[in-house]
C-alpha cells in the first residue's frame, strides 16, 4: 500500500456516484496517494469504496472512519478482506467509536466506554473467521485516536491511528506514543485564502458541526485551548489558526510539512473553500498542494 504521498479527505456523499468517481479519478491524476471517505448518515463506505476501486487504478481508498457501532466486527473483517483482495491491496480500513450524539442520539444504540469498546471490537475482529480467498497481503487497520489511551490501543492492537481535527503538536505526541513503526495518518483542513477574515470565516463554517462533540473538545483542551477559546464566536483566532491551515500555497504546504516533520506517515488534506457553498470542491487548493505538481 502506497501512502508515502499526501492524500485527500472529502465528503463524497454530496456527489452523485458518477461525480464521486470523476472526483477520485482527478485526485489520482494529480498524484495524491489516497482518498479518505467518511461514514455518517449517507452511503455505506464499503460499498462506495468498491465502486471507486472500479473507477481508479492505483488510488488507495480509506475509510475515515467507519463506525464500529454500525456493524458486527466479523462483518467488518469480511468487508476489509474482500475489498483488499478485490482491489489488489488498495483498501485501508479506518474505524472509530464515533460520537454519542450520533450513536445514541440518532441510531438509538448504547454508547459505551470508547477505549474498552474499541479494544473488544479489535479483538473480536482478530478472532473472526474468513473463508474466502484471502488478499495477497494482510490488510491494515487504523483507528480514530486522539487521546493517549486510544493512541496506546492503536499501538498495541491496530496498525496505527487516524487523528482528525488536530495540530502538528498533537502529531508529535501521537508519534511518541505509537512508536516509530505504526501508521500515523493525519487529517488537516486547508483554506487557500490569504485574507484573514475570509479564511477564518470558512474555517469556522467547517468547525460548526464538530464544535459540540466531546471527543474533539476534550482533545483540544488537552492541547492547551480553553473552553472559552473553543467556543468564543465559533473559536477564537488562536484556536482556528491552530486547527485549520490557511493562507497561500506556501503556508498550506508548510503546515502539511510540519505534520510530516512531527512524525506523520501520511497527511490527508481536506480542502475548505472560502466563500463557496458547503462541500464545494476547491480545485485550486487541490491543484496547488498536489504531490504531482
Structural domain boundaries of the chain?
A: 7-288
> Which has the minimum average pLDDT: 4-13, 126-135, 206-215?
206-215
Q: Is the pLDDT of residue 183 over 80?
A: yes
Burial of residue 152 (CB within 10 Å: 0-12, 13-18, 19+) is: middle
Give me the mean pLDDT over the 212-225 stretch.
Answer: 95
Instruction: Give the 3-state secondary structure of residue 21.
Output: helix
Give the end-to-end CA distance of the chain in Å, rounded to a whole number.
Answer: 22
Query: Contacts for 17-20 with beta carbons within 8 Å, 24 or more apart?
Result: 17/48, 17/51, 20/48, 20/51, 20/52
- The grid cell for 269 is 488534506
The whole-number average pLDDT for the span 133-141 is 98
Using CB atoms within 10 A of its CB, is residue 137 exposed (0-12), middle (13-18) or buried (19+)? exposed
Three-state secondary-structure class, residue 121: helix
Q: Among 174, 169, 177, 193, which Cα is nearest to 242's?
A: 169
Q: Note whether 46 and 94 are within 8 A (CB).
A: no
Distance CA 234, CA 244 (A): 13
pLDDT at 293: 63
pTM check: above 0.85: yes
Q: Is the pLDDT of residue 279 over 80?
A: no
Three cell numbers, residue 177? 506514543
> Rounded to the nearest 5°, which phi and psi values hold at 245?
-85, 130
For residues 147-176, average pLDDT: 98
The sign of the torsion formed by the CA atoms of 234, 237, 242, 245 equals positive
CATH of domain 7-288: 3.20.20.30
Confidence of residue 231 (pLDDT cuts 50, 70, 90): confident
CB 191 within 8 A of CB 203: yes
Dump pLDDT digits (tens) for 43-82. Answer: 999 999 999 999 999 999 999 999 999 999 999 999 999 9
Exposure string of 197-230, with b = 16+ CB inside 10 Å and e = fewer, is: eebbbbbbbbbeeeeeeebbbebbeebebeeebb
Amino acid at each position: 500500500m502506497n501512502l508515502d504521498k499526501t492524500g485527500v479527505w472529502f465528503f463524497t456523499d454530496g456527489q452523485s456516484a458518477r461525480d464521486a468517481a470523476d472526483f477520485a479519478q482527478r485526485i489520482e491524476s494529480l498524484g495524491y496517494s489516497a482518498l479518505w471517505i467518511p461514514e455518517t448518515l449517507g452511503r455505506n463506505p464499503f460499498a462506495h469504496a468498491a465502486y471507486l476501486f472500479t473507477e481508479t487504478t492505483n488510488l488507495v481508498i480509506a475509510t475515515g472512519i467507519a463506525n464500529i457501532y454500525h456493524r458486527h466486527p466479523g462483518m467488518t473483517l469480511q468487508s476489509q478482506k474482500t475489498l483488499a483482495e478485490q482491489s489488489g491491496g488498495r483498501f485501508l480500513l479506518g474505524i472509530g467509536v464515533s460520537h454519542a450524539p450520533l450513536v445514541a442520539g440518532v441510531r438509538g444504540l448504547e454508547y459505551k466506554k470508547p477505549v474498552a469498546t474499541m479494544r473488544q471490537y479489535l479483538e473480536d475482529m482478530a478472532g473472526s473467521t474468513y473463508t474466502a480467498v484471502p488478499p495477497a497481503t494482510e490488510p491494515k487497520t487504523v483507528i480514530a485516536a486522539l487521546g493517549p489511551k486510544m493512541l496506546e490501543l492503536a499501538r498495541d492492537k491496530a496498525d496505527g491511528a487516524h487523528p482528525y481535527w488536530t495540530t502538528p503538536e498533537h502529531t508529535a505526541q501521537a508519534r511518541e506514543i505509537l512508536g516509530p513503526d505504526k501508521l500515523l495518518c493525519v487529517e488537516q483542513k486547508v483554506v487557500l485564502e490569504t485574507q484573514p477574515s475570509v479564511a477564518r470565516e470558512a474555517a469556522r463554517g467547517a468547525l460548526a458541526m464538530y464544535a459540540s462533540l466531546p471527543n474533539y473538545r476534550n482533545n483540544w483542551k488537552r492541547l492547551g485551548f480553553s473552553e472559552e477559546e473553543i467556543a468564543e464566536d465559533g473559536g477564537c483566532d488562536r484556536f482556528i489558526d491552530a486547527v485549520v491551515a490557511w493562507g497561500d500555497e506556501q503556508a498550506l504546504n508548510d503546515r502539511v510539512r510540519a505534520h510530516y516533520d512531527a512524525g506523520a506517515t501520511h497527511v490527508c488534506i481536506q480542502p475548505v473553500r472560502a466563500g463557496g457553498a458547503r462541500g464545494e470542491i476547491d480545485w485550486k487548493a487541490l491543484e496547488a498542494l498536489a504531490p504531482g505538481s
